[in-house]
Homo-oligomer: A and B are copies of this chain.
Amino acid sequence: MTEQNSNDIDALNERHRLRMERKKAIIDAKIAAADKQIGIIIVNTGNGKGKSSSAFGMVIRAMGHGMKVGVVQFIKGAMQTGEELFLGRFPEEVSFHSVGEGYTWETQNRERDIEKAQLAWEQAKRFLADPEIGLVVFDELNIALKYRYLDTDAVISDLLARPSMQHVVITGRGAPPELIAIADTVTEMDVVKHAFKAGISAQAGTEW
């Protein structure tokens, strides 16, 4: 390495250090300003992949910190999912209820779908009344709201009455605007590309 090259790299490293020092000051100030500790409502919506898997990633995060978790799946596929098989190992830590019977186009039975959604919400309310449960996941709840199988106003009022430190994650396409309005963190998962469209099947481990 010539002396000139070495000087250039030293200058680059120093510019990087100064830029990161300034960035740290800004970020530290933002962190200091965000000091509230309170149970939040997280909504994962949109047509892209990652809505339910992100909720299950938060489940193991919470378990890693010793929190108890409750899960209600409002739609159950034909196959048992990897997350259900795996979390079934920890009955003391995770209470897992898969109440729905399948996608609306599988059941083709509106009255039965409504009945199942209402049963699922009864279980959901038991979690929302239990301050021992630190995180609850309502997987595909948005679908039940979108089809009006459940009353959005009633669901929101139950959500807002939960214990103050309890976190809730709600997933599914088409989250209703009233739910987005009361949520703390909302992410829209957008499809940039999807393997399924390229003829690749939904595979164990990544999709279910």
Contact = CB atoms under 8 A, between A and B. Distances in A.
Interface of A: 12-13, 16-17, 20-21, 23-24, 27, 30-31, 33-38, 40, 42-46, 48-65, 67, 81-87, 104-111, 134-135, 167, 169, 180, 183-206, 208
A188 B106 contact: no
Given A12-B110, A187-B48, A105 B40 contact: no
Given A187-B48, A187-B189, A135 B57 contact: no
A33 B58 CA distance: 33
Given A57-B52, A60-B86, A83-B60, A16 B110 contact: yes
A60 B61 contact: no
20 contacts: A17-B109, A23-B105, A31-B201, A31-B202, A34-B201, A43-B192, A45-B192, A48-B187, A53-B55, A56-B57, A57-B59, A59-B60, A60-B83, A62-B205, A65-B82, A65-B85, A67-B205, A186-B193, A187-B190, A188-B190
Contacts of A54: 49-50, 53-54, 57
Given A27-B105, A34-B196, A61 B53 contact: yes
A185 B194 contact: yes
